[in-house]
Structure 1
Amino acid sequence: MLLSSRRRTNEPRHGSASWLRRSGLSTLVAVALGVFAGAAQAQSPCPSQSIHPEIYRWELDAQGKGVYLCRAKDGYGNFKHITVQVVDLAAGAKMRIMSEVAPGSPIGTSETLFVKRTAQEWYNWIKLGNATVPPIAQLFSVTSGSFTMPTAAATAHLSFAEKKWGIITTTGNDPVCYYMDDGSSAKRMFGLSDPRAAGQQFAAIRPFDVACQAGATPVNNAFSGYFDALVGFHPLYGDATRRTNRSFIGSKRKDGAWAEGKDQDVVYLLTSTTPTSPMPALTLNEAHKILANDFGAQWTVQLAGGGDAQYFHQGFEDPSPNKVPVPEVLVVYQAP
């Protein structure tokens, strides 16, 4: 069951405050409300403040069991079009990487084609029974995935490698080699353990050492140990000054220990679908710092931005007017 934290509050009737004062209950009510508000704030997974100067605080906007959607608010109480989903794998939430190979397309090559849908269309496609693990009843949200190489209107290549259901679906279609200034690969991978396994699921963000387009063997070696996996960029790779809509993943260990390998148990999904006003879209560093500083992510990875950046969860769709269909999404499921 999804729960919304949105509330409408009504102004008190004229004279109600005077009645409380006369009845001697004003102090008691004020204390009770303060205790309640403090307890609610302490339990919220959304940060009370932000490193970003245009974000005054984060507010819990929707939640399910082990999953939360935090939305940015400015100092005037207006929602900004920046959200961070908190996926608590340690609490039993699950994630999948979802795509659909186009009919007749080869699987596991650089030329594999994938069907494209908007986030809402992917959500509806799953609800229709096209993906049943984890159970459809636990479906919480769908968020856009990694980079693509556009082709025909209904299909696209994925730029980088993908593993789904334990199988390499594509080795990636982008022939360019990507390096950081120090000569290391500019790519990072996000991996997930099998959601069907006993116990909790684990996630990983780590360097993806295959900097150039490669065949199935090196890709399979890099993805070894993961059930689902995708590849994005180092969070700071690219034009540092450009502002655009962003899609980022972050992760950490819930106990605060350094997370590497498959032992990360909290995942963050940042989506920025901000128009040019009233708040400009994010730079790479701003998106990274929101996850790292506001939410405490130990690792982050940059996914496709611009019109590709989008998400949908039951009862709410991001307001971006320029969404385009995408061939890969991250699917979040609440705990049973």
Structure 2
Amino acid sequence: PHGRGGIFTRVDGRLLYRPSGREPRLYAGPRPGAPSQARGENEKGAHGRHYPRLLTTGYIAALRARTPHHGAIDFAADLWPLISKEVCSVYYAALLESCGELPDVVEEFVEAYLEAEPGAEEDVLLDATGIDAAERWDWKRVARPYGDRVFTDRAAFHDWLRGHLDDDVRLARQGNVSGPVKAALDVLRDLRNELRLAVDHAGLTAASHRDDLDGWYTPLNAYLSIGPPASRIEEMAALLDAGVLDVTGPGMRVTPDPDDPLGPSFSGTSSEIPDVRVRATVPIEARLPEIDLRRTADPLMNQLLRTGQCHPPRIPHGEGTGGADYETGGLAVSERPY
């Protein structure tokens, strides 16, 4: 739209889009129903990061050393509880700091929280610290921001989405250190190096790599921590208000309609909003494709694959675990030294 003569302008602090009238009508259907969450404004500089206190390189080395065989780590049992603890501890620390708690008090809380067993023991600590239930971290709410809401029509979804986008921009402006929510989500980005140490070279079981990592955590991580800057979310909200962009809602399905009397077209519907049905003449797959050596169009990689000079990693299912091996779409490389 910006290249069609329209302009973004700010009025009383709110970003607006002034259309030229030459913009196409755009329909978007992000898989979660809402766009990826905005990244918090950077307060860490070029090299700052969260250094893990539980998911350390030593912990991962111990996991990998407990058996001589590859594929011994279970993501859900061995890694996710520590990831969650790291994220939540940063959230609560930033929340307490935003309420004016002294650094020593915050550090004492963090140490106690990291040692507390998930569930009732954590709740007792949070109660004693005065953190209300409404302020507590909830992975379900973060991963599915509309929760259990049932949208009766497009208007109801649009009203919710506009408020959600405004909230997301506000939280992102608080920063990735000072803002509790974005500081916590930024931990997911900061833990990538440690997770690679656990995952690389068939570190996970075949089933865990397939179901927990590829099937669940990787898309969740992308949605929560690898999103656009807040300025792009703000522009999206302005395009919605201007009537240039429409978001169809969760569960978008696109089907070709060759018998459309107006000409061949595509129909878009939502699995969760009954009155959504939009028509478009051009579909755009506006996403980053998954990396898959077996489907690459790169001529060099195709040649290497056809001649047996490279292959995708194959993770063995493990002795006594049942199931099948799992082949990822990546490129198998040897461990160091290369």
TM-score by length of 2: 0.22
Q: Which of the two has greater strand per residue? A: 1
Q: Which has the larger radius of gyration?
A: 2
Q: Which of the two has greater helix per residue? A: 2
